[in-house]
Amino acid sequence: MTTTEYNLKPVDRITTGAIGSPGKRVFYLQARKDDQLVTLIVEKQQMHQLAEKFEEFLAEISKGSTDLPDASSDYKEKDMTLEQPIDPAFRGGLMDLGYDEEADLLVLVVREVEPNDASIEMASIARFWCTRSQMRSMCQWCLELASRGRPICANCGQPIDPEGHFCPKSNGHKR
């Protein structure tokens, strides 16, 4: 197994997207710097959690630097679409956020899901350096994209498939 490192500093764009029908979608995280395009496969839950944690992280940064301008969450849907070709470098596992105060850049670090026989040192890694506004826009887009999936059962909180839903809280009756 070969370890590959991607270090896009700073990115020209960063986005997330999904391909497929709700319930069968594959989610991607994608960043570009100049002519280098890096696409990773990610889980919807990972991206949703990143969006939530980012706001907490941003609040911490703002506490330490009161003179920072607000990060914009504005985006245009057409600008957030995935670029072709969709050729994933690896499947993302552990994600982490960091901040370079001097450059006012965030770094999103994504490590490859480790194969059973590999150690974390052998996992590929991607570092996407972006502005606070780029990250906030991507996170807002992520939440919008996630909301376009299957409806959620109000009773059990699980997704409802178009064919029906076996709800454990309704004594097994389909909804």
Domains of the chain: 5-170 (3.30.2450)
Q: HSE-up of 10 (CA within 13 Å, CB side)?
A: 14
Instruction: State pTM to two decimals.
Output: 0.82
pLDDT tens digits along 44-100? 899 989 999 998 998 888 887 768 888 888 999 999 999 999 999 999 999 999 999
pLDDT tens digits along 141-160? 998 888 777 767 777 777 77
User: 139 — phi, psi (to 5°)?
Assistant: -65, -40
